[in-house]
């Protein structure tokens, strides 16, 4: 399908979900009439795009744990693309009567598999048809490392021992591309890939950094949560925000995990 004729393209104004979705689509094998399960669908990036690609002969089930996100996606959908359904569902505990699918996709999904990521991926594969493909994206280990090194250095200099221990726990919990590849290989998938694509996130100092839409509400909040005293956290992060030249450019790593279930009858 000509991307210039799409009614439901990936939104250009989304500077986080869309770049990750673009990397997902580089590895996803699409055709008409596919049955696709899209997990952690949010408000529909890339579910709407996928639905237009598979056409009315296909089916997209897009699920998210957030009822608010599902309601937003349904409001955007209206009466369009009736073969696309948005449902509130936990991808870590899928219902036993759920059908199987030709493709399972999950844009920015892996961080929501905690605490047992390997088991969550294994559960997903129970819903994948033989010969089907799994494609997941996530910001992998190495994302914003320059910032985390600056945070760790400042915590050490200020003697914030407890905060630094909690921060190190957060850092060490982040999955790497190699770890993700190992999951899929252990689960017996074929043609496994774990590819990273860098993405620069631009920001200015001070409030622009502290309230950056791609940083606050996620990555920066993980630092704040290391502090029991939130006034100290605010003071600490404000000082760092005034020194962005020491950790910019900020580079995220878009990791794409892809693998194929063995076809029926293959050894």
pLDDT of residue 155: 98
| Percentage above 90 pLDDT, the chain | 88
Are the CB atoms for 254 and 191 separated by under 8 Å?
A: no
Mean of pLDDT values over 142-162: 96
d(CA 229, CA 225): 9
For domain 3-140+175-200+252-260, is the CATH number 3.20.20.10?
no
d(CA 139, CA 254): 5
The vertex-235 CA angle with 229 and 237, nearest 5°, equals 100
Query: Which residue has better confidence, 238 or 4?
Result: 238
pLDDT of residue 23: 97
pLDDT-derived band at 150, boundaries 50, 70, 90: very high
Question: Is the predicted pLDDT of residue 265 greater than 70, yes or no?
Answer: no
pLDDT-derived band at 35, boundaries 50, 70, 90: very high
Q: Domain locations in the chain?
A: 3-140+175-200+252-260, 145-170+206-242
pLDDT of residue 2: 52
Q: What is the DSSP letter of 113?
A: G
pLDDT-derived band at 114, boundaries 50, 70, 90: confident
pLDDT-derived band at 160, boundaries 50, 70, 90: very high
């Amino acid at each position: 399908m000509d991307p210039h004729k799409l009614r439901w393209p990936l939104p250009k104004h989304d500077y986080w979900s869309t770049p990750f979705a673009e990397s997902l689509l580089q590895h996803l094998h699409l055709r008409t009439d596919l049955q696709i399960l899209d997990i952690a669908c949010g408000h529909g990036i890339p579910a709407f795009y996928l639905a237009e690609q598979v056409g009315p002969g296909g089916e997209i089930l897009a699920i998210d744990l957030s009822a608010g996100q599902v309601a937003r996606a349904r409001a955007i959908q209206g009466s369009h693309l009736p073969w696309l359904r948005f449902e509130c569902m936990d991808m870590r505990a899928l219902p036993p009567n759920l059908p199987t699918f030709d493709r399972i996709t999950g844009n920015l999904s892996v961080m929501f598999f905690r605490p047992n990521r390997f088991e969550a991926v294994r559960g997903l594969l129970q819903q994948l048809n033989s010969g089907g493909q799994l494609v997941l994206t996530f910001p992998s280990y190495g994302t914003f490392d320059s910032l985390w090194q600056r945070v760790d250095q400042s915590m050490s200099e200020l003697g914030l021992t407890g905060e630094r221990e909690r921060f190190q726990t957060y850092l060490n919990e982040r999955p790497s591309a190699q770890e993700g590849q190992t999951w899929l290989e252990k689960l017996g998938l074929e043609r496994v890939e774990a590819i990273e694509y860098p993405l620069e996130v631009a920001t200015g100092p001070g409030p622009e950094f502290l309230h950056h839409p791609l940083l606050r509400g996620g990555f920066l909040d993980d630092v704040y949560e290391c502090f029991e005293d939130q006034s100290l956290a605010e003071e600490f992060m404000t000082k760092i925000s005034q020194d962005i030249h020491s950790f910019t450019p900020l580079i995220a790593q878009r990791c794409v995990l892809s693998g194929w279930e063995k076809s029926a009858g293959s050894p």
